[in-house]
Amino acid sequence: MGFVEGPMEWSVVVNKAVRALVIGVCAVAWCTTAEAQKKEVAGEYACTEARVAGKSVPCKAAPLNLKTDGKFELQGREGDYLVNGAWVELNGAVLKSRAKIEGGHKIVFRFYNKKGLCEMIYERRVVELGKTNLS
């Protein structure tokens, strides 16, 4: 009987070790992916268009700055941001919001107010040779 219990105990130990290794590898991969995604969206964004109840209006919102260290700044408010798939989640002391990442280096905030659906479309700025252009 002792011989049978030995291999069973050993398989339990190996099974636990494999689980721990898989969890560790997944955690490292997830952190690396989150860091890579932050670097992909990091930059300064300008509000290029706003839509209120389907009508386009001039956007006068402050620029959004997403830093490579996972911090953001918007209109003097600061906090952390997280890239979660196709979403950017802002988490600050005063400001908490979520925006959709869209093609063409765009970030779109959607929310409802008393006038209906509002969209604020931010586009990343590209700085080349002292010039600031929208990408």
pLDDT (average), residues 81-110: 91
Q: Taking the complete model, does pTM exceed 0.85, yes or no?
A: no
pLDDT at 9: 59
98-125: buried (b, 16+ CB within 10 Å) or exposed (e) per residue?
Answer: ebebeeebbbbbeeeeeeeeebbbbbbb
Largest CA-CA distance found in the chain, in angstroms, rounded? 81
User: 2-134 sits in which CATH class?
Assistant: mainly beta
pLDDT digits (tens, 9 = 90+) for 33-56: 444 455 588 999 999 999 999 999
pLDDT at 26 over 70: no
pLDDT (average), residues 3-22: 51
pLDDT at 92: 87
Residue 113 CA: distances (Å) to CA of 13, 119, 121: 57, 11, 16
Rounded Cα distance, 61 and 124, in Å: 14
Domain definitions of the chain by residue range: 2-134
pLDDT at 5 over 60: no
Mean predicted lDDT score pLDDT of the chain: 76
pLDDT (average), residues 104-110: 92
